[in-house]
Amino acid sequence: MPQSLDYTKHYSSLADEDLGRLSQDVQSLTPDARMALKAEMERRQLSAESIDWTAQPTTATAAEPVSGSSGGFRRFLRNFLIFAACDVAYVLIVGGVASMVNGIDIEALATSLTTTLLKLSVALALITTWRPSLKPKTIWIIGAAGPAIAIVFLLILGHVRQTMNAGQ
């Protein structure tokens, strides 16, 4: 109980107004701090009837947005790094497969694929940053599936364009 004694000593040194302000945010206090505050307010005979001493601490859930711009930037950076890690895997896989095929300029392929995937990663990181409820596991799934879906979409679009040009 030494920590409780520290709270008691600290609260006894505060002014009545400071104790009143502190009691307005009682749910953020630890149980020891709450007990020490209540005891000090009772000792000074300060009004404490309206205070809910059983209020539970509030915790931020994953669904709640992080307040401030730094939380959004951290989320963006985390998401971008996850997507960039997935991009590295795609470049390695595509580069490995393409290196087995004769006549493909691996350096040009890697450069264009890296540039395209990084642009996609920035876009996905921006989009997913607006959804703070997304867990890192979901971001990894999006990072793994996003480039594949984009590549399939571009292949289908190229095939449709080629078919339409052949028909003219």
Instruction: From 24, 14, 33, 17, select the one nearest 52 (Cα to Cα).
Output: 24
DSSP classification of residue 140: H
> What's the farthest any 2 CA atoms get from each other in the chain?
92
SS3 27: helix
**Predicted pLDDT at 58:** 55
All structural domains of the chain with their residue ranges: 2-43, 69-167
**Token pair for 154:** 């571009």
Query: What average pLDDT does the chain have?
Result: 81
pTM assigned to the model: 0.51
pLDDT along the chain (168 residues), means of 10: 71 87 82 86 83 67 46 87 90 86 85 87 88 86 87 83 83
Q: Is 103 left (phi over 0), alpha (psi -120 to 50) or beta?
A: left
- For residue 138, the number of C-alpha atoms closer than 13 Å in the C-beta half-sphere is 10
What's the pLDDT score for residue 63? 42
pLDDT at 82: 92
> Given this model, what pLDDT does residue 158 score?
82
Rounded Cα distance between 163 and 156, Å, is: 10
The pLDDT of residue 68 is 47
The pLDDT, as a whole number, for residue 23 is 84
- H helices present in the chain, as ranges: 2-13, 16-23, 31-43, 69-98, 106-129, 136-167
